[in-house]
């Protein structure tokens, strides 16, 4: 059974407010697709993540690094929620929960293999 291997899929693990985060994410992804997002003020107020590296988890692609000005976590090493979009110039990402400004990747993160995906989701 799928939930034996991935218990986070069970209904009791669906977090409170997930539907609101998904609606916000969907709206932002549409703006990104249309070339109108993120707005400069969204980037200016977004947490900064530096010395980051990618982490592939059962929940998806995430970043781990030093986060500054996170509204819940403050300033500390942290892992983002799932990454859904990234700016073509490498200045921002949109995760399940929010936009982040991207600082420099960690030296180890810079050496990670690149995957080539055609098309979109």
Give the model's confidence band at 104: pLDDT under 50 very low, under 70 low, under 90 confident, else very high: very high
Are the C-beta atoms of 60 and 83 separated by less than 8 Å?
Answer: yes
- 16 vs 31, residue with greater confidence: 31
> At residue 121, does pLDDT exceed 50?
no
Which of 15-19, 32-36, 46-50 comes out lowest in average pLDDT? 15-19
The model's pTM is 0.84
Which of 8-12, 37-41, 60-64 comes out lowest in average pLDDT? 8-12
> At residue 44, does pLDDT exceed 70?
yes
Three-state secondary structure string covering 50-82: EEEEEEEECCEEEEEEEEEEECCCEEEEEECCC
In angstroms, the CA 45 to CA 108 distance is 27
The reported pLDDT for the residue numbered 114 is: 53
The reported pLDDT for the residue numbered 58 is: 82
């Amino acid at each position: 059974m799928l939930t034996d291997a991935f218990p986070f899929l069970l209904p009791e693990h669906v977090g409170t407010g997930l539907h609101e985060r998904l609606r916000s994410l969907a709206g932002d992804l549409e703006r990104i697709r249309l070339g109108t997002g993120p707005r400069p003020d969204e980037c200016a107020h977004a947490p900064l993540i530096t010395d980051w590296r990618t982490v592939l988890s059962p929940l998806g692609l995430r970043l781990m690094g030093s986060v500054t000005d996170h509204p819940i976590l403050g300033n500390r090493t942290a892992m983002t929620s799932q990454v859904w979009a990234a700016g073509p110039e490498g200045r921002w990402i949109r995760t399940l929960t929010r936009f982040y400004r991207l600082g420099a990747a960690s030296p180890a993160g810079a050496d990670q293999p690149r995957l080539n995906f055609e098309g979109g989701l």
